[in-house]
Each structure stands twice: as structure tokens, then as C-alpha cells.
């Protein structure tokens, strides 16, 4: 099981003046209602919102979420934009895994709850399944699984085991 992306939101005490950020921070670009920034050298995507929140994507290690947030805050302080971090929350973890499939996706879809699963091979080559916890799994005939909707890595491991049991 491998983490391929983590989405986190940091909430600051004060709102952001996006025009000020655009003028003071490197690697920024205006979007309709937010400001985009690439944090170098790793190229993490940062989106600043006028509400005082910023979103971080591209992280692959939970331990790095706080470090990246601190780097962004340091950039703000270096640009003379003083604001205080209130909290950081992980909003989504995207993971991949593999399973040795003994059945075709057509056979698997028949055994799953039709209100929780869909498979339309003429539209997309993967089977979609959403569990009761709101986790979405995309299963391909190769056995590759992409999972999204986690906010906790340990819970992810438990849910993936449950999903794999459904495939037997």
C-alpha cells in the first residue's frame, strides 16, 4: 500500500489579501477565487483562499504535512505577511495497492451491492466501489486499486483489508 497524494488544509487566524500575496510571493498565479503557488523544489501545489485558508497537495508522507505548512508560513513571514496558524487538517489521502484477482471485474460487480458499485467498461476500464465509510475504490482488471477518501492511514489499512475480502 502506497500513499500517492495527501490533501491538507491549513487555517490561519486572519484572512488573506490575495493581491498582496500575488505581489510578494514567487511562483504564484491568480485563479478565479484563489491564488495558486508551486512550492519548490518538490513542486507541491498550494492554493491560498481569501478566507485565510490554504490547501496543500502533492505530499506523499503524513509526517511531512506539518513541515510543509511551516515552510509556507515561513515564506509568508519572509514576505512580511504576518499571520498565525490555527490548525492543519488532513482532508483526503489517496493510496494505491494491488490485489491478485481470481475473478473478472464482470464477476466481481455481480457479487457487490449494486447501490455501492458500478462498472461500465465501455466508459471506463475500472470498477468503482464506495463503502459505508465513504471511501471510494477504483479496481482495474490488472489488480491495481486506487483508494480515495481516507483521512487516517491506520483506518485506511483496515478498510482496504475489508475491500479485498469482498473480491474473493
Is residue 127 within 8 A of residue 117, CB to CB? The reply is yes
Reading the chain (168 residues) residue by residue, the pLDDT tens digits are: 999 999 999 999 999 999 999 999 999 999 999 999 999 999 999 999 999 999 999 999 999 999 999 999 999 999 999 999 999 999 999 999 999 999 999 999 999 988 999 999 999 999 999 999 899 999 999 999 999 999 988 888 899 999 999 998
C-alpha cell belonging to residue 27: 511562483
Global pTM value: 0.89
Buried b (16+ CB within 10 A) or exposed e, 125-139: ebbebebeeebebbb
Is residue 136 within 8 A of residue 148, CB to CB? The reply is yes
Sorted by where each starts, the structural domains of the chain and their CATH numbers stand as 2-92 (3.30.310.10), 99-166 (3.30.310.10)
Is residue 17 within 8 A of residue 167, CB to CB? The reply is no
CA dihedral sign of residues 1, 165, 158, 121: positive
N-term to C-term CA, the chain: 19
- Cis omega (within 30 of 0) on the bond before 83? no
d(CA 97, CA 81): 41
Q: Is 116 helix (H, G, I), strand (E, B) or coil?
A: coil
Is residue 18 within 8 A of residue 24, CB to CB? The reply is no
Amino acid at each position: 500500500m502506497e500513499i500517492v497524494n495527501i490533501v491538507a488544509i491549513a487555517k490561519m487566524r486572519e484572512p488573506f489579501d490575495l493581491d498582496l500575496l500575488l505581489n510578494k510571493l514567487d511562483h504564484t498565479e491568480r485563479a478565479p477565487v484563489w491564488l495558486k503557488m508551486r512550492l519548490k523544489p518538490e513542486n507541491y501545489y498550494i492554493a491560498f483562499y481569501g478566507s485565510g485558508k490554504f490547501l496543500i497537495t502533492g505530499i506523499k508522507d503524513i509526517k511531512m504535512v506539518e513541515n510543509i505548512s511551516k515552510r509556507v508560513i515561513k515564506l509568508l513571514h519572509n514576505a512580511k505577511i504576518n499571520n498565525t496558524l490555527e490548525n492543519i487538517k488532513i482532508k483526503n489521502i489517496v493510496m494505491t495497492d494491488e490485489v491478485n484477482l481470481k475473478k473478472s471485474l464482470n464477476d466481481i460487480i455481480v457479487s457487490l451491492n449494486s447501490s455501492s458499485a458500478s462498472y461500465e467498461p465501455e466508459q471506463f476500464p475500472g470498477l468503482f466501489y464506495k463503502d459505508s465509510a465513504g471511501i471510494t475504490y477504483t479496481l482495474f482488471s490488472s489488480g491495481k486499486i486506487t483508494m480515495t477518501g481516507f483521512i487516517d492511514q491506520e483506518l485506511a489499512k483496515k478498510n482496504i483489508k475489508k475491500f479485498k475480502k469482498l473480491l474473493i
